[in-house]
Amino acid sequence: MKIGIGYRSRRRSEYLLVLQKSPVKAKQVWTAHNIPDVWQEKVVKVHPHSKPIELQTALIKATTNENDFVLDPASGGYSVFQACKNCSRNFIGCDIEFGVI
Secondary structure of 35-99 in HEC code, one letter for each residue:
CCCCCCCCCCCCCCCCCCHHHHHHHHHHHCCCCCEEEECCCCCCHHHHHHHHCCCEEEECCCCCC
pLDDT above 90: percentage of residues in the chain:
24
Residue 12 belongs to some domain of the structure: no
Domain count, the chain: 1
C-alpha 27/C-alpha 92 separation (Å) is: 26
Residue 52 belongs to some domain of the structure: yes
Residue 36 belongs to some domain of the structure: yes
Q: Mean pLDDT over all residues of the chain?
A: 78
Whether the full predicted model's pTM is greater than 0.85, yes or no, is: no
pLDDT reported for residue 87? 94
Which residue would you say has higher pLDDT here, 88 or 41?
88
Closest CA to 54 of 83, 76, 33, 75: 83
Whole-number CA gyration radius for the chain: 15
pLDDT tens-digit readout, 1-48: 555 555 555 556 666 677 766 666 666 677 787 887 777 777 777 777
Residue 51 belongs to some domain of the structure: yes
Owning domain of residue 48: 26-93
